[in-house]
A and B are shown apart, each in its own frame.
Chain A
Amino acid sequence: ERTFIGDQVLRIKAKSYDEINQLQALETLAHLQLDFWAEPHNPDIPVDIRVPFENLQSVKVYLESNNFEYSIMIEDLQKVIDEEKQEMEMNAR
């Protein structure tokens, strides 16, 4: 079973269409294995990206060096999945 230990979901607030374009370019970098939960298309709407643990540093450096405003929406994805699983097991019982 695939696990997501340490993966984070980042919420990025683009300030302009230039930044939207930069985020779209990020999407094409397949080696980062980014999973866009909410796509970059409009500065009014935040972009959510699941970032694998091993690429967190690279992505955060990219965002910070390009002055992107972002927050961590989910700190550790696996923790939330585990909670969801426990809840399902409890409901099943």
Chain B
Amino acid sequence: KERNSGTFNYGAYHSLDTLYNTISSIAQDYSSLVTRQQIGTSYEGRPIYVLKFSTGTNRPGIWVDAGIHAREWVTQATALWTAHKLASDYGKDASVTSLLNSHDVFLLVVTNPDGYVYSHSADRMWRKTRSVNSGSRCYGVDPNRNWDAGFGGPGASSDPCSDTYRGPRAESEVEVKAVADFIRAHGRIKGFISIHSYSQYLLIPYGYKCTNPADYTELMNVGRAATSSLSSLYGTKYTVGTICTTIYQSSGGSIDWTYDLGIKYSFAFELRDTGRYGFLLPTTQILPTAQETWLGLKKIVEHIRDNPY
């Protein structure tokens, strides 16, 4: 039987090849809605694919990415499930249909493909990219300290051996630059949501400084509505707040960069934790995580759809 995106086992962890095959299958199975675009190439030469969900031209866009930190496997799994959900619900679910009739959605399932492969083959706890750091025995940069937002400030390391190494300069990592170039070139991205795990937070800017963003009240209200909806499925409790007040000051993060670029609806999700497994969340948890996250995501994208700016 020919493989297709409908029979794929979304409740399992898969190799990069399998994820990429499924990304292609989704684009083939829903070809009138979904296209696969390569937005760049990783340090080790792997393609960086984004799925574009679109029903028209010149639409404002919403960006969703997952897996910037390689070892957070539940995030890549959640993003792939979400891709299939978006595609299969178009024309059936009124909210998804109305969203995609007005906005394009760009979904980057594996933001850090080299790191993902490395976490499968050499070090399950790998978090960073796999670039060579000149003059150091240590590899890789924390791609979520490498954006041009307070780059080099507190909460990022200058030590190439650290798991939070910021890199030699902002956007030194091709994986970061590919996304930043795409966002800049598009020019009409209205929402940017980055998916991480596993602390159960919905975070808003800022992380590089401890001041609230201008749209703090609105973002907090959207965040609370999203986490309330998310919690309605399995009771998973989320905390909403700025990166600085909720976690700690950290510079060079993606949603700070997008917010300062003018993308008001910039959020970072930290998906669920069962309290026992951390990054090794069992596969039985993938579908519940994806399903509840979808409810939260939906609230955010509905707000973006209904509040143009």
Chain B: which residue is nearest A50 at the CB level?
B125
Which of B15, B123, B248, B278 touches A74 (beta carbons < 8 Å)?
A: B278
Contact B125 A35, beta carbon cutoff 8 Å? yes
B124 at interface, CB cutoff 8 A = yes
Contact A73 B125, beta carbon cutoff 8 Å? no
Q: Give the distance in Å from the alpha carbon of A48 to the alpha carbon of B122 in the complex.
A: 23
Q: What mask results when residues 30 to 44 of chain B are scored 1 for a CB within 8 Å of chain A, else 0?
A: 000000000000000
A37 at interface, CB cutoff 8 A = yes
Chain A positions within 8 Å of B278 at CB level? 9, 37-38, 48, 73-74
B9 at interface, CB cutoff 8 A = yes
Q: Give the distance in Å from the alpha carbon of A91 to the alpha carbon of B280 in the complex.
A: 16
Residue tally, chain A, CB below 8 Å to B:
24
Q: Give the distance in Å from the alpha carbon of A88 to the alpha carbon of B13 in the complex.
A: 6
Contact A2 B123, beta carbon cutoff 8 Å? yes
Q: Given contacts A2-B122, A81-B124, is CB(A39)–CB(B13) below 8 Å?
A: no
Which size class do B's interface residues fall under? 20 to 34
Q: Give the distance in Å from the alpha carbon of A45 to the alpha carbon of B159 in the complex.
A: 27
Chain B positions within 8 Å of A91 at CB level? 9, 12-14, 283
Q: Give the distance in Å from the alpha carbon of A74 to the alpha carbon of B275 in the complex.
A: 10
Q: Give the distance in Å from the alpha carbon of A87 to the alpha carbon of B9 in the complex.
A: 13
Q: Give the distance in Å from the alpha carbon of A81 to the alpha carbon of B124 in the complex.
A: 8
Q: Give the distance in Å from the alpha carbon of A55 to the alpha carbon of B163 in the complex.
A: 18
A1 at interface, CB cutoff 8 A = yes
Q: Given contacts A41-B248, A88-B13, is CB(A1)–CB(B122) below 8 Å?
A: yes
Contact B277 A74, beta carbon cutoff 8 Å? yes
Least CB distance, B94 to chain A, in whole angstroms? 34
B101 at interface, CB cutoff 8 A = no
Contact B280 A1, beta carbon cutoff 8 Å? no
Chain A positions within 8 Å of B282 at CB level? 84, 87
Least CB distance, B156 to chain A, in whole angstroms? 13
B139 at interface, CB cutoff 8 A = no
Chain B positions within 8 Å of A84 at CB level? 13, 124, 280, 282-283
Contact A39 B12, beta carbon cutoff 8 Å? no
Q: Give the distance in Å from the alpha carbon of A30 to the alpha carbon of B161 in the complex.
A: 10
Q: Report A2-37 residues with CB < 8 Å from chain B CB.
A: 2, 4, 9, 30, 35, 37
Chain A positions within 8 Å of B198 at CB level? 37-38
Q: Give the distance in Å from the alpha carbon of A50 to the alpha carbon of B199 in the complex.
A: 15
Which of A35, A39, A41, A74 touches B280 (beta carbons < 8 Å)?
A: A74
Least CB distance, B251 to chain A, in whole angstroms? 14
Q: Give the distance in Å from the alpha carbon of A35 to the alpha carbon of B276 in the complex.
A: 16
Enumerate 20 A-B pairs (CB-CB under 8 Å) in ascending A order: A1-B123, A2-B125, A30-B161, A37-B198, A37-B278, A38-B198, A38-B199, A39-B247, A39-B248, A41-B247, A41-B248, A50-B125, A73-B278, A74-B276, A74-B278, A80-B277, A84-B13, A88-B13, A88-B14, A92-B14
Query: Which residues of A are in contact with B by a Cβ distance under 8 Å?
Result: 1-2, 4, 9, 30, 35, 37-39, 41-42, 45, 48, 50, 73-74, 77, 80-81, 84, 87-88, 91-92
The 6 A-B pairs at the shortest CB distance, nearest first, are namely A91-B12, A2-B123, A41-B248, A80-B280, A37-B278, A81-B124
